[in-house]
Amino acid sequence: MKKLINAPENVVKEALAGMAIAHADLIDVHFDPDYIVRKGAPHNKVGVISGGGSGHEPMHGGFVGYGMLDAACPGAVFTSPVPDQMLAATKAVNGGKGVLHIVKNYTGDVMNFEMAAELAAAEGIEVASVVTNDDVAVENSTWTAGRRGVGVTVLLEKIVGAAAEAGADLATCKAIAERVNAHGRSMGMALTPCTVPQAGKPGFELAEDEMEVGIGIHGEPGRRREKLAPARDIAEMLAGPILDDLPFQSGDAVLAFVNGMGGTPLIELYLMYNELARILKDRNITIARSLVGNYITSLEMAGVSFTLLRLDDEMIKLWDAPVHTPALRWGM
Amino acid sequence: MQITADHVTSFLQLVAERVKEQREYLTRLDAAIGDADHGVNLDRGFSTVMSKLPTATDRSISGLLKLTGMTLISTVGGASGPLYGTAFLRAGTAIGDRATIGAEELIAALSAALEGIQTRGKATRGEKTMIDAIAPAIDALKEQYAASGDLLAAMRAAVTACEQGMIATEPMLATKGRASYLGERSIGHRDPGAASAFLMAQAMLATLERAVQG
């Protein structure tokens, strides 16, 4: 294991400390329980919080700020945070208009957020939850823990964050969040595994000519292993199941999100975006908005995920609204 | 025999020691079908329990179990934090304010713990989870105790059933938890939660054996 760390068990806290100094104008970092909170919280609006294991940076902490999240709860690397963190964050951002929990569909995340929501409700805070589950790689989802929440989570946090900033009430925020989740689909692949600092070894091994297709975001193996293929074939492999699942149709306007898993350079992400754009053009699907970069990652894993979100006018307006966070900023 | 709060403390110490010893093993099992953190997370949880025990104010059996449950929920994270945490809380609640407990109360507490895990995790037997090790163990414990009235013999049968249940998770297709994302590829791997449950069952038996030997 070759990493820029001092001690595996201190990675999360030391990174949070760095974030706090680097973005002191936007966020405060609270320790024990750990959460990142927007400056000046609570604000006079619905509080929007999310959380999940660390190792996916910039998600979620990098999305705390104006027009997006009010707080984020970072767990240990690839491990759900605990209810104490979500409860403390919920209290910190509750401006009296309720708090929305954005939860990715993983067994641990769902259970811990459920417990936190029960505790917050017991303290008289109105909490609503939305669970993202956009990963089409998980088949037979009726018989499993369900599809994983992946790329759509980033888009949802931006869109719902804008709605809350504009004064939408809790029920409206929840409804918009559910609409975004319902209209978004994702799939990812890995060229290399990644190493959890405290594990010290990669989560799986891949030969020089192999790739994992249908990965999640926790360094876990994917649905299947295949021989490495040209980018154009990989793009088809990822876009096909996404397009067929919703299904996306001729005439749709979409947000096309090409996300790096952490270890893939932008030059390859743009190359993949070019492939995705070609596929969408062939199907007469318009790219109305786009996002390319490393936003929901798996440590140093090389690989890419595609997310497509079918847009409506309200979603476009909310996507374009000003945002100012450590990792996303436009319009201000 | 009567089980006292000191026995519970010994049990918790033993679990903490074994989790630390088997940290790499549990994490390796988890790397195969999950996210390679089960051993690390449980070790963090039980190490914190150990650090809190000396200053615990409520030193009754239920007090110790509840402290353990709350600490696991607050420090482990993932799915195993809420699951084991809920199990210890429910066991503590089932025992209530009894200063010591006998076999019947222990069986009732363990049954309540299992029920808590099933409710929190929304899982049943055969889904490749810790339930596949715990449920057969409690069945065996109840049956053997009803037949013999010998708690130690019943606990030995329970640990054997627990081990068999753990091994039986290997050919299963996971339908709950992170391993379910692997589909068919989850087959052939031992469930890490079943393995940590077996470790706790072994610790419980060892504690009882030591207690009987005096």
Residue A79: Cβ-neighbour burial (10 angstroms; 0-12, 13-18, 19+): buried
Mean pLDDT for the stretch of residues A130-152: 84
Mean pLDDT for the stretch of residues A62-75: 98
Mean pLDDT for the stretch of residues A137-143: 68
How high is the pLDDT of residue A142? 55
Query: Alpha carbon A6 to chain centroid distance?
Result: 27
Considering only CA atoms, which of A141, A101, A305 is closest in space to residue A218?
A305
How high is the pLDDT of residue B110? 98
pTM of the model: 0.89
A271-288: pLDDT as tens digits: 999 999 999 999 999 999
A147-193: pLDDT as tens digits: 999 999 999 999 999 999 999 999 999 999 999 999 999 999 999 99
Considering only CA atoms, which of B107, B55, B116, B108 is closest in space to residue B82?
B116
Q: Which domains does chain A have, with CATH numbers?
A: 11-182 (3.40.50.10440), 184-311 (3.30.1180.20)
How high is the pLDDT of residue B106? 98
B38 to chain A: which residues are within 8 Å by CB? none
Q: How confident is the model at residue A216 (pLDDT cuts 50, 70, 90)?
A: confident
Q: How confident is the model at residue B184 (pLDDT cuts 50, 70, 90)?
A: confident
Q: Is the pLDDT of residue A248 over 80?
A: yes
How high is the pLDDT of residue A222? 78
DSSP designation for A29: E
Lowest-pLDDT range of A27-41, A155-169, B179-193: B179-193
- Residues A327, A36 contacting (CB under 8 angstroms): no
How high is the pLDDT of residue A309? 98
Considering only CA atoms, which of B72, B38, B47 is closest in space to residue B190?
B38
How high is the pLDDT of residue B36? 81
Q: Is the pLDDT of residue A199 over 60?
A: yes
Partner residue opposite B35 with nearest CB, options A83, A137, A218 = A218
User: Would you say the ipTM is above 0.85?
Assistant: no
Q: Which domains does chain B have, with CATH numbers?
A: 5-213 (1.25.40.340)
A85-111: pLDDT as tens digits: 999 999 999 999 999 999 999 989 999
B15-26: pLDDT as tens digits: 999 999 999 999
How high is the pLDDT of residue B213? 84
Peptide bond into A218 cis (omega under 30): no
Mutate to test the interface with B, among A10, A13, A82 (most CBs of B within 10 A): A82
Q: Is the pLDDT of residue B101 over 80?
A: yes
Say if the Cβ atoms of A219 and B174 lie within 8 Å: no
Query: By a Cβ cutoff of 8 Å, what residues of chain B touch chain A?
Result: 27, 31, 33-37, 40-41, 44, 73-83, 120-121, 174-178, 180-183, 185
How high is the pLDDT of residue A141? 56
Q: Is the pLDDT of residue A1 over 60?
A: yes
Q: Which of A23, A30, A56, A101 is catalytic?
A: A56
Q: Which chain B residue lies closest to A140 (C-alpha atoms)? A: B183
Q: Is the pLDDT of residue A139 over 90?
A: no
- Residues B77, B41 contacting (CB under 8 angstroms): yes
Query: Alpha carbon A215 to chain centroid distance?
Result: 14
Q: Is the pLDDT of residue A140 over 70?
A: no
- Residues B137, B201 contacting (CB under 8 angstroms): yes
Q: Is the pLDDT of residue A143 over 70?
A: no
Q: Is the pLDDT of residue A2 over 70?
A: yes
Percent of chain B with pLDDT over 70: 100
